[in-house]
Structure 1
């Protein structure tokens, strides 16, 4: 069983993945192949993320967040994706994970701003579960900085990230089942009206990811 920091350390390196996406609304299926290059964030890179204007109002212990200790891990990620139709996409981003326990104050998020979580993203609050904010300098579905929620369950070595975009809600789950093998599931909902939980699933993706440098 990997603790919070050990999980992120195990996820660095070079990974290759094959995914299959099911578009439920359009009734289409598509495969893609991706190569990820993942490095741990430095203190300076963490500061770059924390300085983004979209994070105004979030109060935390800056010294602990920037440190290289176990408190707030993060990734610098670069990837190249090739779909079976020949479409190529390349992207790089930085992501920082801050547990709720290191916030002095978390902005109030009411149903007016963020709808309730989908049932698939609801995790009971237990001492084992680590919850917090997942901050990126760039989103996948929409450009610009993104603030998301995450949970980490050590007993299953599973990280789950929930992102509210303007038009959709994405739930991305990563489970490390061996030092060189991860399972990935991605569920995308249509973003509902204010105050309603997402129920309409637009896209479901599955992936097998293998680390190449062990």
Structure 2
């Protein structure tokens, strides 16, 4: 299968309701936190795909080949802190080669900051791993999802202190791991 076909397969498997147990290691505070998240993923309508493009002032495109999703989640940490959020996302492939697929990852609402944001993604069709890198004001988040089978995903979250422009990622401040199981 070609990388783009594998990318569509990856996301077809992701549609539905999921439950995840995560562990976060706050390296600067020396703390470990556990949480449970229930989330649902559904496909976006063409109108919502256009809205995500407009929210991000992204050049207008035909959205026919773009994968777009609505994500809604509720997280409860072991300390009782609750977070709920809904957002729309759109994947805009830019380059397909033997190593996979790369492009832009747009959201109408970012996780770290409450605003639309354009990030980048890379998809490896061999390992079925999607990596997304988002540059925020103060940090850079590198989030990876590996599809082990249609009902099981592994998640890795790495958050770095944002380096000066042109410098590599270096100061890791948060590491998260999760096992995500499909409910429906």
TM over 0.5: yes
Unaligned runs of 5+ in 1: 102-124
Unaligned runs of 5+ in 2: none
Question: Are 1:74 and 2:68 matched, yes or no?
Answer: yes
Aligned residues: 181
Alignment partner, residue 94 of structure 2: 100
Query: Please, what is the CA RMSD of the aligned residues?
Result: 1.4
Q: 2:100 and 2:6 mapped to 1: Cα distance?
A: 11
TM-score, with structure 2 as normaliser: 0.94
Q: 1:157 and 1:25 mapped to 2: Cα distance?
A: 31
Following TM superposition, the consecutive aligned residue runs of length 4 or more in structure 1 with deviations greater than 4 angstroms are none
Alignment partner, residue 6 of structure 1: 9
Alignment partner, residue 48 of structure 2: 45
Alignment partner, residue 140 of structure 1: 111
More strand by proportion, 1 or 2? 2
Given that 1:100 and 1:133 are in contact with CA atoms closer than 8 Å, whether structure 2 keeps it comes out as: yes
The alpha carbon displacement at 1:127 in A equals: 2.1
The residue matched to 1:9 in structure 2 has which SS?
helix
The residue matched to 1:4 in structure 2 has which SS?
helix
**1:134-213 alignment runs, 5 A limit:** 134-213=105-184
Q: 1:7 and 1:42 mapped to 2: Cα distance?
A: 19
The alpha carbon displacement at 1:9 in A equals: 0.9
TM-score, with structure 1 as normaliser: 0.81
